[in-house]
């Protein structure tokens, strides 16, 4: 490998780790912000749990085959067209673009995290990739058809629907808890019955979400355990899959209440009925948050490792591919970056989601987290691309709205909305500027 290629590899690893760090620093609030705001666990324990589940999700179920550029927005094929680029020029220009995408997206997410604003790292990556495509077309490097405006439109629709849908679902969940428990005569007895129902629903929904697209790469992991025929039968037939999950959910619910019965009796002597009710939902909140953290690590690590794996393949094989195999060391790099991000700056955005939008109690936090997880499942089944970050923010707002408009801080919501609006254009423009510099440098290596 030449000295120039070694420099490219070094920058790729650094920028990839930086992108993974920003994912951990900003997006961890998706899963743990409501736990933090409800004071169900201490910040130290929250970070420990987030670190474990984010890393396990990224390493165990993270994309072993991923797209080099997010969502197929830019077609990489023209960069290998000898009619457009002589020699290896196209390959090195493509590398410059991917490096610019990683750095530009990371810089914007870092700023948002500093300002304690929950934005979508996926949205930042999409904006950066679009910026790379637009500047490449403007410079005459690739034809305009290489940029998929239809894909961009579909993704943008998901961004609009995500917070609205998440807010509606969480609003309805919290209202149901309010009616079933808090507006009844004996809140403790009703809460105990409702808790049975919600434990079952949580386990059922989370398992169904994981097997239906919430964990995109789970099938390949399960394939190493189950025989191929049985695996295909379960995964490819929705009703059979739902039946298997139903049985598992009943068993887990039964075991859960057997194991926690003594703890509930002991805690019942020390706290008021309202505190005991909130405590019941605190356990469900943590369970749901663990799933969201695991799923987030599994799905969003691709934002950082996709371009890294793409560049590594180019340097090793000298060819560009739309999808690439991800070596274990790159999965580890992404997982480690997320863990470091969670551990260092994870608390910043967590504070906004958990404390600044509206008051969060365990029941409210559970409603928001469970509503977000349910929304992701429904949208996955309908084929609607969504942003987990925006769904959880919408869910927290929805729960706050259940207490009236005065229960939410409109100034905080306005700041969040403005950051969402600026994410794509800022990422795109920053990518374009960085790309011009990197393009000039990498062309010297071609």
Q: Are 434 and 104 in contact (CB under 8 A)?
A: yes
- How far, CA to CA in Å, does 428 sit from each of 95, 111, 134, 194, 313? 17, 15, 8, 47, 25
Q: Are 129 and 101 in contact (CB under 8 A)?
A: yes
**pLDDT tens digits, 76-105:** 889 999 999 988 899 999 999 999 999 999
Higher pLDDT, 300 or 340: 340
273 band by pLDDT with thresholds 50, 70 and 90 = confident
**What do you get for the CA distance between the two ends of the chain, in Å?**
13
323 band by pLDDT with thresholds 50, 70 and 90 = confident
428 band by pLDDT with thresholds 50, 70 and 90 = very high
Overall average pLDDT of the 38-64 stretch: 84
Which residues, other chains included, contact 267 with Cβ-Cβ below 8 Å and sequence gap of 6+? 276, 279
pLDDT surpasses 80 at 110: yes
Q: What is the SS3 string spanning 310-367?
A: HHHHHHHHCCCCCEEECCHHHHHHHHHHHHHHHHHHHHHHHHHHHHHCECCCHHHHHH
**pLDDT tens digits, 138-176:** 999 999 999 999 888 888 888 888 899 999 999 999 999
Lowest mean pLDDT among 37-41, 237-241, 280-284, 374-378: 237-241
pLDDT surpasses 50 at 277: yes
Residue holding tokens 């991000």?
Answer: 341
Which residues, other chains included, contact 157 with Cβ-Cβ below 8 Å and sequence gap of 6+? 384, 385
Q: How many domains does the chain have?
A: 1
Overall residue count recorded for the chain in this entry: 446
pLDDT surpasses 90 at 2: no
| CA 45 – CA 374 distance, rounded (Å) | 25
Higher pLDDT, 245 or 422: 422
Q: Tell me whether residue 258 is exposed, middle or buried, using C-beta atoms within 10 angstroms of its C-beta: 0 to 12, 13 to 18, 19 or more.
A: exposed
Which residues, other chains included, contact 239 with Cβ-Cβ below 8 Å and sequence gap of 6+? none
pLDDT surpasses 80 at 268: no
| CA 387 – CA 376 distance, rounded (Å) | 8
| CA 4 – CA 11 distance, rounded (Å) | 11
**pLDDT tens digits, 214-241:** 444 555 555 555 555 555 555 556 667 7
- The predicted pLDDT at position 435 comes to 97
265 band by pLDDT with thresholds 50, 70 and 90 = low
Could you tell me the residue range of the domain that residue 325 belongs to? 3-443
**Average pLDDT for the chain:** 85
């Amino acid at each position: 490998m030449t000295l120039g290629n070694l420099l490219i590899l070094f920058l790729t690893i650094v920028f990839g780790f930086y992108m993974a760090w920003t994912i951990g620093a900003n997006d961890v609030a998706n899963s743990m912000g409501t736990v933090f705001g409800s004071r169900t666990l201490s910040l130290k324990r929250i970070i420990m749990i987030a670190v474990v589940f984010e890393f396990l999700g990224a390493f165990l179920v993270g994309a072993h085959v991923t797209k080099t550029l997010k969502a197929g927005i830019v077609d990489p094929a023209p960069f290998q067209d000898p009619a457009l680029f002589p020699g290896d020029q196209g390959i090195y220009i493509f590398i410059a673009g991917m490096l610019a995408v990683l750095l530009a997206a990371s810089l914007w997410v870092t700023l948002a995290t500093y300002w304690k604003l929950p934005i979508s790292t996926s949205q930042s990556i999409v904006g950066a990739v679009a910026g790379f495509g637009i500047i490449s077309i403007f410079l005459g490097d690739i034809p305009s058809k290489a940029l998929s405006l239809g894909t961009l439109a579909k993704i943008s629709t998901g961004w609009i629907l995500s917070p609205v849908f998440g807010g509606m679902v969480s609003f309805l969940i919290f209202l149901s808890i309010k009616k079933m428990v808090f507006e009844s005569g004996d809140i403790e007895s009703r809460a105990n019955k409702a808790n049975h129902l919600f434990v079952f629903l949580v386990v059922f929904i989370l398992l169904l979400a994981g097997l239906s697209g919430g964990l995109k790469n789970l099938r390949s992991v399960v394939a190493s355990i189950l025989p191929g025929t049985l695996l295909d039968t379960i995964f490819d037939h929705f009703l059979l899959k739902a039946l298997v999950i139903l049985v598992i959910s009943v068993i887990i619910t039964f075991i859960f209440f057997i194991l926690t019965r003594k703890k509930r009796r002991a805690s019942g002597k020390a706290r008021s009925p309202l505190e005991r009710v909130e405590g019941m939902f605190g356990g469900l909140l943590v369970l749901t948050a663990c799933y969201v953290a695991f799923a987030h690590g599994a799905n969003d690590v691709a934002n950082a490792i996709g371009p890294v794996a793409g560049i590594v393949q180019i340097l090793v094989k000298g060819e560009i591919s739309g999808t690439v195999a991800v070596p274990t060391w790159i999965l580890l790099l992404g997982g480690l970056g997320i863990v470091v991000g969670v551990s260092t700056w994870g608390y910043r955005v967590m504070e906004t989601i958990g404390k600044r939008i509206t008051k969060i109690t365990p029941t409210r936090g559970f409603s928001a987290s469970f509503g977000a997880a349910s929304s992701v499942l429904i949208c996955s089944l309908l084929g609607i691309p969504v942003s987990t970050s925006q769904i959880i923010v919408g869910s927290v707002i929805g729960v706050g709205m259940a207490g009236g408009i005065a229960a939410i801080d409109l100034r905080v919501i306005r700041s969040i909305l403005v950051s969402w609006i600026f994410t794509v254009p800022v990422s795109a423009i920053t990518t374009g500027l960085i790309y011009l510099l990197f393009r000039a440098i990498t062309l010297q290596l071609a």
